[in-house]
Amino acid sequence: MDYRALTDYLGKNEVHYERNAKTSSLVSFRIGGTADLIVYPDTEGELAQVLKISHENGYKYVVLGNGTNSFFCDGNYGGAVIVTSRLNRIYTEGDTLVAECGASLTECAKVAMENGLCGMEFLFGIPGSVGGAVCMNASAFGSSVSDILRESRVIDVENNSIYVLGAKEHDYYIKHSAFSGNKNLVALESRFHLCKGDKEAIRAKMSDFLKRRSMSQPLDFPSAGSVFKRPRGLYASKLIDEAGLKGLTLGGVSVSEKHAGFIINKKDGTAKDLLKLIEIIKIVIRHKSGTELEEEIIYME
């Protein structure tokens, strides 16, 4: 594919990009081959322009936050990976925290704490970005992004328009949102409604959550967090554990011994290994408990 229209724009505007670059370093699973282009817009205007040019010219593209819920194919991703990490501004306005899509969740939680605002503690330690969390409705310790999200400013690439999406219009249900499966809707910035609280109490809650994460999650290996969505009224990790699948290994990837909901990349795992292991887990759980597991992690092929 000739990306001339896009590379001309990137060159003229000094937007950083790489050609035929590795995708594995963009994702926490450390799995993936290469991509035709990896683009790092510095501003919202650049992001909007990159999306517009890609759409108008029929280039395949995907928006990537911190890559902690995604993995790429082993071969070449024949399109542009648009990374939001440089759009990372965070600020507060009264009891509202505003963050650009590429801002880190952990940084948001810290800024909220420093400003004596509570409600974001559960995001501390989730390694993703605001855009990824708004898309996936990130949740932990009984709280979800949908509990605190007030609105997002979004770009609709198809219609080349920017508008505000209210909380309800995010259309959330378990790990699904208006963004799921719709690459043309991109979150630019989100506003979160928080409450005044005691800074030290917020700090203590955050450090408790972090401790609980390191006790229950295999943080010493690359992963993408929980592989499967939570089936209604059940826990995927419990079903996998009860089916005796902890430690099951295929090539370089294994079901974590520490948390059965996680698959870890033990050594040079590939997307092929991972897809096969996911399929085996789904078949075993279907036969043993009649539950249909559904992937939470996103495969970019």
Binding site for ligand FAD (CB under 6 A): 28, 62-70, 84, 101, 126-129, 131-133, 135-136, 138-140, 179, 186-187, 217, 219, 223-225, 298
Specify the residue, 68 or 270, whose C-beta has the smaller distance to ligand FAD.
68
Q: How far is the CB of 87 from ligand FAD (least distance, A)?
A: 8
Q: How far is the CB of 288 from ligand FAD (least distance, A)?
A: 25
Specify the residue, 138 or 245, whose C-beta has the smaller distance to ligand FAD.
138
Query: What tokens were used for 234?
Result: 């059940």
Q: How far is the CB of 153 from ligand FAD (least distance, A)?
A: 11
Closest CA to 110 of 37, 210, 15: 210
Residues whose CB is less than 8 angstroms from the CB of residue 283 and which lie 6 or more positions away in sequence, other chains included: none
Specify the residue, 32 or 128, whose C-beta has the smaller distance to ligand FAD.
128
Q: How far is the CB of 106 from ligand FAD (least distance, A)?
A: 10
What are the φ/ψ torsions at residue 257 (nearest 5 degrees)? -75, -25
Specify the residue, 53 or 126, whose C-beta has the smaller distance to ligand FAD.
126
Closest CA to 265 of 22, 23, 21, 28: 28
Q: How far is the CB of 247 from ligand FAD (least distance, A)?
A: 18
Specify the residue, 176 or 288, whose C-beta has the smaller distance to ligand FAD.
176
Q: How far is the CB of 19 from ligand FAD (least distance, A)?
A: 21
**Cα distances (Å, whole numbers) of residue 279 to 73, 134, 282, 284:** 16, 27, 5, 9
Q: Look up residue 268 and give its DSSP letter.
A: S
The separation between CA 133 and the C-alpha centre of its own chain, rounded to angstroms, equals: 6
Give bridge partners of residue 149 from the DSSP assignment. 192
**Ranges of H-type helices in the chain:** 4-12, 44-56, 105-114, 130-136, 145-148, 199-216, 236-242, 271-289
d(CA 70, CA 28): 8
Closest CA to 84 of 135, 148, 158, 145: 135
The separation between CA 117 and the C-alpha centre of its own chain, rounded to angstroms, equals: 24
Q: How far is the CB of 71 from ligand FAD (least distance, A)?
A: 9
Specify the residue, 219 or 243, whose C-beta has the smaller distance to ligand FAD.
219
Q: How far is the CB of 149 from ligand FAD (least distance, A)?
A: 12
Rg (CA), the chain: 19
Specify the residue, 64 or 113, whose C-beta has the smaller distance to ligand FAD.
64
Specify the residue, 23 or 34, whose C-beta has the smaller distance to ligand FAD.
23
